[in-house]
Structure 1
Amino acid sequence: MNRGLSLWLDVLRVAATLVVVLSHIAYARFTRGDYQFMRDLNLGSDAVIVFFVISGFVIAYAAERDKHLPNYTFNRGTRLLSVLLPALLLTFVFDQMGQRIDPGTYPAGYYGALPLWEMLLRGLSFSNEWGAFERVRLGTNGPLWSLSYEAAYYILFGVAFFMSGARRVIILLGLVVLFGPRVLLLMPAWLMGVWLWRKLAAGGAGMLTSATARVMAWGAPVLYAACLWIGVPDMLAHLTAEAMAPARHRHVLAFSDEFIWNALIGVFTTIHIFGMARLLQNHTRDNRAVRWWAGASFSIYVTHYPALHLIDAVFPAETLARDALFVVGSIAIGLIFAQIFERRIAGLRSCIRALIGHWSPSGRRPHPHHP
């Protein structure tokens, strides 16, 4: 992966994270409905699909780099759990504090009252959205639904990539039953990222002319905006509702209720990144600011929602100053969190490898890997 494309993926990651945060701040219970257009356009959910495409791209790249299933499992597991565990603990603490201050800011639809042991069990197993289990909300941290989906995609891809024969088929079928159809409905966008990595790794960007690349890079966002303008998401949602009637499609599908529209977003995102890969193939300059923000994007994503609820409880007066505090405060908490946890992933992995090497019977460490 060249530097230009890597940098642009970080730009998209940061932008998508900020869109998610602002979309949640736009809830009427936080900001009186003054920014309802973001809720009406459902921009936050669309941004998550951008994450999925980038995730599929990066994981496909990482799997080829990791070379072995133990390395892949170790790197993917430590990446998720090193941030998720402290995020769950922070969520529980913030929720307990906020409820004591103002229980009314924790409505049932946006808060799952779980004991700490159950929150950790369901969160750390990523099973909170899997079809084989009852869906649960992890305190106020609703955005963690996407990690349940992502973990399933990591597992499915790891089995498909590193295993073979009848064993691969049997395990994949078992996993499909475990994860359920809701999770699988959004996987096409993730697999588009995998396809894109394979295409670019094979030199696909070099086959595009500059003119074609510009059309792809800028045409895809224009198509997305045009679809929003003419109401394509609503039309597709209506078709889904009619096809699933008399069942309520939003209740049955939950976060996958716009799976057709989400697949289209995946197509737009894939086309855009493909074009940018060609336009940036000779870009060699880096941007430390973008890298710094991207290094905290995961942390901001997994901490901002419980932070918003706590701010709502502590500062009940609905003012423009509080609106600004929602933005600055929730992002600041994510940045502090990243400094403590997300940015220290390399050191954590080194410590874990040292412990594994110390306690393994052979005294040998697992395959070396540089993150």
Structure 2
Amino acid sequence: MNRGFSVYIDGIRAAAALVVLLSHFAYPRFTDGRYIWIRDLYLGSDAVVIFFVLSGFVITYCAKTKETALGSFAFARASRFLSVAIPAVLIGFALDNLGASMFPEFYAGQFYNPLAFWEQLAFGLTFANEWTGLATRLGTNGPYWSLSYEAAYYALFAVFFFLSGAVRWLLIAAMCVLFGVNVLLLMPCWLMGVYLYWRIGTSGLVAKPLAVVMAVLPPVIYIALLMSDVRADLTDFMRGFLSPAQYHGLRFSDAPVWDFMLACLTVIHLLGVHALCKADGVETGSARIVRYLASCSFTIYLFHYPLLQFLKPWLASFADLPASDLILLGATLVICLGLAAVFERTLKQQRQFVRRLFLAGPALSR
């Protein structure tokens, strides 16, 4: 992966996290419907699909180049998730309970699912909250659903990539039953990221004129689709095969055809961008800003919703100011960046600590 393409991937990752933040910020209870068009266009949901594509690409890259054994792969993935997920579960629980006790009317709604502490830990730290038979929102933290999906994809990928023979296929079959239809419906989007890595690694760069078309045309098509009724038509098509209860039960997987179309457009776009990116050159200041935001993207994604919910009633005194929306958004983002400095951006040090801890254990026991 050359430097230019790496920075571009980071830029998309950072932008997707910010779009998800904005899509929840646009809820009327936060901003009185002033930005409801963001929700009407389902931009937050689409950003998560793009996350899935990037995840499949990056995970395949890591498995092929850095985490080439099952043990190192499992440690890297678990530490990456848990470094932010553990504080998100704990701090989210604290914020939700404090906020609900002080402003109960603001937490009255289906967006808040109060759980016992042990339930929050059990679902949050196993990432089983959206697997077969489970449809559990962790307090106000709606975005946590995608971690349940990604954890499943990591596990399926690891079994397929690192194991072989009958054990591989038996485990995959068992995992598919465990994870369930909803998770599997969006796995093709994640696998498009795997395909992207394979395609980049096995074929030469496309000619520049074609690369420009591949880079530019997918965003144009996407915007045209947003302006059309295609998504609504696909939704109606899905509803035609399912009862209302069955369709509702799909939860976050209720638009798999649209999501796969978006994943394909994303891959075509990235193939074009890859062919156009330069491998050399000095990293600019703007590139460093992009990398910084990308290094905070997981924290922004996992913390923003409980923070928005908690901060809104506290900032009620600013409601009449012209900049009230900006104050809420800015406060949420600044706190997320501060939390990222403590948890996400210290991942390397956390991994070193865990390694030293486990290496010291046998020595101390002798």
Class of the TM-score when normalised by the shorter of the 2 chains = over 0.9
Q: Rate the CA distance shift 1:235–1:362 in 2: closer, same or farther, 3 A.
A: farther
Higher mean displacement: 104-113 or 34-43: 104-113
Find the aligned partners of 2:161 and 2:310 in 1 and give their Cα distance: 42
Q: Give the letter aligned to residue 116 of structure 1.
A: F
Name the residue aligned to 2:291. Answer: 291
Q: Give the letter aligned to residue 343 of structure 2.
A: F
User: Is 1:82 the counterpart of 2:80 in the alignment?
Assistant: no
TM (norm. structure 2) is 0.95
Higher mean displacement: 278-287 or 216-225: 278-287
Find the aligned partners of 1:303 and 1:353 in 2 and give their Cα distance: 27
Find the aligned partners of 2:259 and 2:41 in 1 and give their Cα distance: 13
Q: Could you tell me how far 1:94 is from its partner in structure 2?
A: 1.0
Q: Could you tell me how far 1:311 is from its partner in structure 2?
A: 1.3
Higher mean displacement: 279-288 or 258-267: 279-288
Any residues of structure 2 matched to 1:108-127 within 5 Å, and which?
A: 108-127=109-128
Any residues of structure 2 matched to 1:25-174 within 5 Å, and which?
A: 25-64=25-64, 65-131=66-132, 133-174=133-174
Counterpart contact for 1:220–1:268, Cα < 8 Å: yes
Counterpart contact for 2:299–2:337, Cα < 8 Å: yes
Find the aligned partners of 1:336 and 1:198 in 2 and give their Cα distance: 36
Any residues of structure 2 matched to 1:313-328 within 5 Å, and which?
A: 313-316=313-316, 318-319=319-320, 320-328=322-330
Find the aligned partners of 2:248 and 2:345 in 1 and give their Cα distance: 38
Counterpart contact for 1:78–1:349, Cα < 8 Å: yes
Q: Give the letter aligned to residue 236 of structure 2.
A: H
Find the aligned partners of 2:299 and 2:149 in 1 and give their Cα distance: 17
Find the aligned partners of 2:282 and 2:95 in 1 and give their Cα distance: 40
- Figure out how many residues of one structure are paired with residues of the other and give that number: 359
Find the aligned partners of 1:360 and 1:175 in 2 and give their Cα distance: 33
Name the residue aligned to 1:237. Answer: 235
Q: Could you tell me how far 1:175 is from its partner in structure 2?
A: 0.2
User: Is 1:259 the counterpart of 2:261 in the alignment?
Assistant: no
Name the residue aligned to 1:329. Answer: 331
Q: Could you tell me how far 1:322 is from its partner in structure 2?
A: 2.6
- Kindly provide the CA deviation profile for residues 286-340 of structure 1, in whole angstroms up to 9, marking residues without a partner as x: 2211111111011111000000001122133644433112210111111000000
- Kindly provide the CA deviation profile for residues 8-34 of structure 1, in whole angstroms up to 9, marking residues without a partner as x: 000001111111111101111111111
Higher mean displacement: 317-326 or 266-275: 317-326
Name the residue aligned to 1:345. Answer: 347
- Kindly provide the CA deviation profile for residues 119-165 of structure 1, in whole angstroms up to 9, marking residues without a partner as x: 0111000000001x421110110000001000000000000000000
Q: Rate the CA distance shift 1:5–1:84 in 2: closer, same or farther, 3 A.
A: same
Counterpart contact for 1:217–1:276, Cα < 8 Å: yes
Find the aligned partners of 1:322 and 1:250 in 2 and give their Cα distance: 38
- Kindly provide the CA deviation profile for residues 177-203 of structure 1, in whole angstroms up to 9, marking residues without a partner as x: 00000000011110000011011122x
Find the aligned partners of 1:307 and 1:84 in 2 and give their Cα distance: 15
Q: Give the letter aligned to residue 17 of structure 1.
A: A
Find the aligned partners of 2:280 and 2:325 in 1 and give their Cα distance: 38
Counterpart contact for 2:112–2:139, Cα < 8 Å: yes
Q: Could you tell me how far 1:353 is from its partner in structure 2?
A: 0.8
Find the aligned partners of 2:355 and 2:104 in 1 and give their Cα distance: 44
SS at 1:207 equivalent: coil
Name the residue aligned to 1:367. Answer: none
- Kindly provide the CA deviation profile for residues 214-267 of structure 1, in whole angstroms up to 9, marking residues without a partner as x: 1111111111011111121111111001111x3345411000001110001101
Counterpart contact for 2:315–2:328, Cα < 8 Å: no
Counterpart contact for 1:7–1:291, Cα < 8 Å: yes
Counterpart contact for 2:11–2:290, Cα < 8 Å: yes
Counterpart contact for 1:98–1:314, Cα < 8 Å: no
Name the residue aligned to 1:219. Answer: 217
Find the aligned partners of 1:56 and 1:148 in 2 and give their Cα distance: 15
Root-mean-square deviation over aligned CA pairs: 1.5
Find the aligned partners of 1:76 and 1:362 in 2 and give their Cα distance: 27
Find the aligned partners of 1:98 and 1:217 in 2 and give their Cα distance: 45
Instruction: Determine which of 351, 357, 360 is the counterpart of 1:358.
Output: 360
Find the aligned partners of 1:48 and 1:160 in 2 and give their Cα distance: 24
